[in-house]
Amino acid sequence: MDIFRDAILTGLKVAGPILVVSMLVGLIISIIQAATSINEQTMTFVPKLVIMGILLIISGGWMLQQMMDFVFRIFELIATKI
């Protein structure tokens, strides 16, 4: 159970910022589209892609460190059980 809980929390910590920012950008673009009556699909895709790329560049190191910490905790747990 501890491994499962740790895996879920690590997944939420790593994926959470990208999902939240993507939803916020999508909401802002949707409001702009509703106000201007422009229904172009690329208008939502391109800004999300750019913002998520910038976010990955900024926080990619932190995300990698979180995943590495999780893997190290799993390896330590395996080593203590054997």
pLDDT tens per residue across span 2-51 = 889 999 999 999 999 999 999 999 999 989 988 888 878 778 888 899 99
Helix ranges (DSSP H) in the chain: 2-36, 42-81
Residue 60 has pLDDT above 80, yes or no: yes
Q: State residue 34's pLDDT score.
A: 87
What is the per-residue pLDDT for 24? 94
- Confidence at residue 44, expressed as pLDDT on a 0 to 100 scale: 82
CB 21 within 8 A of CB 51: yes
CA nearest to 17, candidates 47, 50, 51: 51
The pLDDT assigned to 4 comes to 92
